[in-house]
Structure 1
Amino acid sequence: MKLINVRIGLFITTALLGLAALPIGGKISNTEGLGNDGRVLAQTTNDNSPFYAPNPPPPRKDPLPAERARQEATPTKADFRISSLQADYSGDLWVGSWQGLSRINPNTGRVVARINLPNYTLGALSQDKVGRIWVGTYEGLLRVDPRSNEVTAQNIALPSNRVLSLLIDKRGYLWVGSDRGLSLISPDQGLLMTTLQDLPGVSANALTLDQKGQLWVGTLEGLVQVDTASALIRHRISSVPGTVVQALATDNQGMLWAGTPNSLLVIDPNTRQVMRSITALQERNVTSVRFAKDGSVWVGTDNGLVKINPSTGDLLGQISGLPSSRIMSLATDVGNKLWVGTSEGLAWVSLTTGVVKPHLAFIRERPADY
């Protein structure tokens, strides 16, 4: 009986295998896939099979052409722009560059710390009342604790992450200027308190406080005064020659000094009138303005650094030997030096001898005569 069952099983299996090999509705022509002349056959179920002439494989192409190989083998050109400088309460100097944030001893020039900020482009620096360093970048706002040199706050909600200017007011609050207006931040909590997005001129390029503690904002369409208590606009000066205000400072007399793409203007914040235009800076693109302890004013342009007598507007001197003539930032009287951030690196000017030296850690190439 067992032998009969085995034979029946074999018979059924053989029959099923035979059926599986048969095509439905026809037969498969040339099961080896080649015609008599060697051409490739498409598998069909009738005798009218199409033919495809065999083609050789395409010629091998170098996946990395010579030009592309050179481009990928060449490292990206480092950017040595020094966009912001900030002295702190301990006497150190914070250097904001397009390569990151650094802290140096201005007396010796030694780099005390480098804060790793990958993928951040720095645009502004400020120090709050308790010594924390605020870093404005094109990717948002950061807070750094100088005790640990570590980032302790980030991802703060802003109308725009492109931060252009920073300022601590007399109450200790942080004003953040961006390409979409102003924001007011509580430094302790790192929280956004209010925003001023309908700012005339839109972009808050530069910030300063007048002698009454009110905020002045340099915009694309002149100057705007903002009440620091209410965050409301108080006054506007739109009749600024050159329109765009990109640098701001307040002198000992309470006058506003406004740098534009073609002039340096002195403005009375009380009357809101332009008092004079500095002759030596006419048709010059003013990018930075800072007052020294001796009362003189240092003015950076896109074509050099000059020293001006604020009373007369006379040119007192012009600094040469910098890494670049395009000045981006200034810090006066830090380590008895004037620190100069340029588009090609950092340098300092001795306030006693006038000697100009580059900081070798922040320039592209060591000068041949250094």
Structure 2
Amino acid sequence: MTRTCKNPVRCAALVVVFLLAARGELTLAQDLAPDRNFSPIADKSTPLMPRVILRNIREDRDGNIWFASFGGPIRYDGKAFTNFSEEAGLAKRRIFSLLVDKSGAFWFGSITGGASKYDGKSFTRFTTKEGLSGNDVLWIFEDAEGDVWLATDGGVSRYDGKTFTNYSTKDGLPHNSVYAIAQDRSGKLWFGTQEGIASYDGNIFTNFAGIAGREFTNIRSIVEDKAGNLWFGGQYGVYRYDGKTGAMLTAKDGLLDDFVGSMLVDKAGSVWFGHPLDERGGATRYDGEEFTHFTQKEGLPAKTVYCMLEDSDGRIWFGSVGDGASRYDGKTFTDFSTASLPK
């Protein structure tokens, strides 16, 4: 069955980027008063995670696990899940991307509302009015120099702490819908877009849209393994690139499914692939020799995997759509999502 995604930011749920609700009005960026702290709201804390759409997972300095969800960011402190909403100071409730930067500040990327930064005292909101390239913020990344890059539906924006510098197809990106950003060990930045891959050496962009020698679009994730190979996950498989040559990997080679929406490299050096489509959803682990599948048959609670994280204790977290979150300790899965949908 052919699966395509012509308008990536507003595709149906089975094509990874989707919107279940109608677009709202744009929220203008502003600094919120310091007394509006990002603090837990008691009646929004629960020992179980609501069954919401999860799009990203991060760990903060204190070991708390954070989830980007379409119901607002959710924090897990080891005991309870706390859900934060727009009332806390967020630009929009539908959070798509997350970052905890080197200073410990939180960045939240939303759909239609731009980005929000929380420095521990107050929120700052950024939209196109302040110079952001787009108001759908699909990925947030901090480079080695401390600049924050925001992948949007209008290109990519680099924030140096004061101003934005925007890049688009005019500068060499294959497409203005950018989904993933990574930096390799040489310092070069890589971007995954709707129409392929580009790199940036600090001066110019190099377009790698035809790198795989076949249709390879809808690039959702980029990681570098311990050997220095770059992995690009997309709609039609995974491309492994050593800097000179590469190879495509698909379900025929051992992946659970061709569509790879998320990836991570664990502490042991294995590469994990998250598969977001219901009919072949789950995760694949590749240790350099063998592929291992994780589905409901193997104990994975959810049908799909949209995002992953290895925490500081070496446990793998999985986020899904509608089935919440689960955690794998190397032997067994823990399902945290037996709560019903929030009202």
> Matches of residues 240-251 of structure 1 in structure 2 within 5 Å?
240=212, 241-244=214-217, 245-251=219-225
Q: Aligned residue for 1:341?
A: 319
Q: Aligned residue for 2:148?
A: 174
Query: Quick one: distance in 1 between partners of 2:209 and 2:167?
Result: 21
Three-state SS of the structure 1 residue aligned to 2:134 is coil
- The Cα offsets for residues 33-72 of structure 1, whole Å up to 9 and x where unpaired, read as xxxxxxxxxxxxxxxxxxxxxxxxxxxxxxxxxxxxxxxx
Q: Given the two structures, how large is their TM-score scaled by the length of structure 2?
A: 0.72
1:205 aligns with 2:179: yes
Q: Is the 8 A contact 2:100 2:107 kept in 1?
A: yes
- The Cα offsets for residues 152-192 of structure 1, whole Å up to 9 and x where unpaired, read as 34344222111111111000101111122111112x33x31
The structural deviation recorded for 1:109 is: 4.0
Q: Is the 8 A contact 1:183 1:194 kept in 2?
A: yes
> Matches of residues 26-65 of structure 1 in structure 2 within 5 Å?
none
Letter in 1 for 2:145: R
Q: Aligned residue for 1:110?
A: 80
1:142 to 116, 119, 129: 116
Letter in 2 for 1:353: K
Q: Aligned residue for 2:208?
A: 236
Query: Quick one: distance in 1 between partners of 2:76 and 2:106?
Result: 14
Letter in 1 for 2:286: N
1:265 aligns with 2:239: yes
1:311 aligns with 2:288: yes
Paired residues, number: 276
Query: Quick one: distance in 1 between partners of 2:82 and 2:256?
Result: 40
Q: Given the two structures, how large is their TM-score scaled by the length of structure 1?
A: 0.68
Query: Quick one: distance in 1 between partners of 2:268 and 2:61?
Result: 20
Three-state SS of the structure 1 residue aligned to 2:254 is helix
- The Cα offsets for residues 208-237 of structure 1, whole Å up to 9 and x where unpaired, read as 11111111111122210012x33x303524
Higher RCO (Cα < 8 Å, 6 or more apart) = 2
Unaligned 5+ segments in structure 1 are 1-77, 366-370
Query: Quick one: distance in 2 between partners of 1:264 and 1:237?
Result: 14
Query: Quick one: distance in 2 between partners of 1:211 and 1:336?
Result: 22
Q: Aligned residue for 1:99?
A: 71
Percent identical among aligned pairs is 23
Bigger Rg, which one: 1
Query: Quick one: distance in 2 between partners of 1:345 and 1:222?
Result: 30
1:326 to 304, 319, 334: 304
- The Cα offsets for residues 61-103 of structure 1, whole Å up to 9 and x where unpaired, read as xxxxxxxxxxxxxxxxx97110111112221111110000122
Q: Aligned residue for 1:53?
A: none
Three-state SS of the structure 1 residue aligned to 2:336 is strand
Query: Quick one: distance in 2 between partners of 1:115 and 1:336?
Result: 30
Letter in 2 for 1:157: G
The structural deviation recorded for 1:308 is: 2.2
Three-state SS of the structure 1 residue aligned to 2:208 is strand
Q: Which has the higher strand share?
A: 1
The structural deviation recorded for 1:197 is: 4.5
